[in-house]
Amino acid sequence: MANQSSSCPILCASFNQDNSGFAISTKDGFKIFDSNTGRLCYERSFGAFIIVEMLYSSSLLAIVGAGEQPSLSPRRLCLFNTATGAPLRELPFLTSILAVRLNRKRHLIERRTVIPLLSTFHRRLLVVLQENTYIYDSNSLAMLDTIDTVPNLKGLCAFSPSLDGCFLALPASTTKGAVLVYNVMELQSHCEIDAHRSPLAAIALSSNGTYIATASEQGTIIRVHLVSEATKSYSFRRGTYPSTIFSLSFAPSLQLPDILAATSSSGSVHIFSLGFDTNQRSKKSISFPGLILPDYVNHALDPAHRHVLHNAVSAGVRSYAVVRKVDKAADSPEFATCRAVVSLIAYNGYFQEYAFSINNQNESSWSLEREFNLLTLVSDGAETS
Per-residue pLDDT of the chain (385 residues; tens, 9 = 90+): 776 555 789 999 999 999 999 999 999 999 999 999 999 999 999 999 999 999 999 999 999 999 998 899 999 999 999 999 999 999 999 999 999 999 875 544 434 333 333 344 567 899 999 999 999 998 899 999 999 999 999 999 999 978 788 999 999 999 999 999 999 989 999 999 999 999 999 999 998 899 999 999 999 999 999 999 999 889 999 988 999 999 999 998 665 557 899 999 999 999 998 864 433 333 333 333 333 334 444 444 555 578 999 999 999 999 999 999 988 765 555 555 788 999 999 999 999 999 999 888 888 999 999 999 999 987 655 566 6
DSSP 279: G
- Using alpha carbons, list the distances in angstroms from residue 364 to 89, 298, 305, 307, 358: 48, 21, 10, 7, 4
Entry pTM? 0.87
Q: Where are the alpha helices (DSSP H) in the chain?
A: 295-301
End-to-end alpha carbon distance in the chain: 24
Q: Which of 17, 14, 89 has the alpha carbon at shortest distance from 55? A: 17
Look up residue 243 and give its DSSP letter.
Answer: -
Q: What is the largest CA-CA distance in the chain?
A: 70
Long-range contacts of 245-248 (CB under 8 A, 24+ apart): 245/201, 245/202, 245/215, 245/219, 246/1, 246/202, 246/318, 246/319, 246/320, 247/1, 247/202, 247/204, 247/319, 247/320, 247/321, 247/322, 248/202, 248/203, 248/204, 248/213, 248/214, 248/215, 248/222
User: Among 160, 202, 197, which Cα is nearest to 181's?
Assistant: 160
CA distances from 185 to 53, 125, 177 (A): 20, 11, 25
Q: How far apart are CA 41 and CA 382, in angstroms?
A: 4
